C-alpha cells in the first residue's frame, strides 16, 4: 500500500505543481506624443555662440503602442535627466526616464538617450527598466524617430523598431 500512496503523491504533485511561466515577445509598434509640462521648469543650455536654449525638464506622454494600448496621458510622463549640446554632432543629447501607463493603470518604465537636431528631427533609444502587474518582469528595447514642432515644443515619436518581453 505504501508504494501506491507514494505513487499517488507523486502523481498529484506532477499535476498540481506550478507551471513554468511562458514568455511572450511582442514587436513594438506605435507612436507617442510628448508635450512639455512648462510648470516643471527648464534646463538652460548654452550653445558655442553663447545663445541660450531652454529644454523642458518634464513632458506628458500620450499616444499608443502595441503592448500597453492607448497611453493614459494624465499619468504618463518623461523626465529629462540631463541635456548637453554636442558640438561635434551639432545635436542636443538628452538622457531621460519614461513611465507609460495604460487605461488599466498598468505601466512600463523606460530609460534612454536621445539626439535632437536643429532641423527639428531626432532619434532616441530606450530600454525597459521595470513594470507593474502584468508587466512585473518585463524587459525590452526600442528606438524611435523624433519630429519636433518648433512652435510648441511637442515631440512626435514613431517607433522604428523594438520588442517587449513579458509573462503571458
- Among 10-14, 132-136, 156-160, whose mean pLDDT is lowest? 10-14
Q: Distance between CA 32 and CA 157 in Å, rounded?
A: 5
The domains found in the chain, sorted by start residue, are 21-167 (2.40.350)
Q: In the prediction, which pLDDT does 35 show?
A: 98
Mean pLDDT of 41-45: 96
Q: In the prediction, which pLDDT does 21 show?
A: 72
Mean pLDDT of 21-42: 94
Greater confidence (133 vs 37) lies with: 37
Bridge partners, 121 (sequence order): 147
CB 39 within 8 A of CB 57: no
Residue 160 backbone dihedrals phi, psi, to 5 degrees: -85, -50
Examine the pLDDT at 15 and tell me if it is beyond 80. Answer: no
Residue with cell 503571458: 168
Residue with cell 529629462: 80
Closest by CA to 26, choosing from 135, 125, 152, is: 135
Q: Distance between CA 27 and CA 33 in Å, rounded?
A: 20
Give CA separation, 15 vs 4, 11, 101, 145, 146, in Å: 17, 7, 37, 49, 51
Q: What is the pLDDT of residues 86-109, one digit of tens each?
A: 999 899 999 999 999 999 999 999
Cβ atoms < 10 Å from Cβ of 167: 13
Alpha helices per DSSP H over the chain? 2-16
Mean pLDDT of 66-79: 97
Write down the pTM of the prediction: 0.85
Amino acid at each position: 500500500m505504501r508504494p501506491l500512496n507514494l505513487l499517488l503523491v507523486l502523481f498529484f504533485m506532477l499535476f498540481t505543481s506550478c507551471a513554468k511561466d511562458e514568455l511572450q515577445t511582442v514587436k513594438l509598434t506605435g507612436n507617442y506624443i510628448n508635450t512639455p509640462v512648462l510648470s516643471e521648469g527648464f534646463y538652460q543650455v548654452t550653445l558655442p555662440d553663447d545663445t541660450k536654449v531652454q529644454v523642458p525638464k518634464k513632458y506628458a506622454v500620450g499616444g499608443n503602442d502595441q503592448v500597453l494600448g492607448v497611453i493614459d496621458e494624465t499619468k504618463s510622463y518623461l523626465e529629462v535627466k540631463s541635456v548637453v549640446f554636442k558640438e561635434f554632432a551639432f545635436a542636443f543629447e538628452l538622457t531621460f526616464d519614461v513611465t507609460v501607463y495604460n487605461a488599466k493603470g498598468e505601466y512600463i518604465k523606460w530609460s534612454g538617450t536621445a539626439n535632437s537636431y536643429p532641423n527639428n528631427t531626432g532619434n532616441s533609444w530606450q530600454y525597459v527598466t521595470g513594470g507593474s502587474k502584468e508587466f512585473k518582469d518585463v524587459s525590452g528595447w526600442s528606438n524611435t524617430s523624433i519630429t519636433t514642432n518648433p512652435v510648441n515644443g511637442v515631440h512626435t515619436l514613431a517607433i522604428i523598431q523594438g520588442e517587449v518581453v513579458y509573462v503571458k
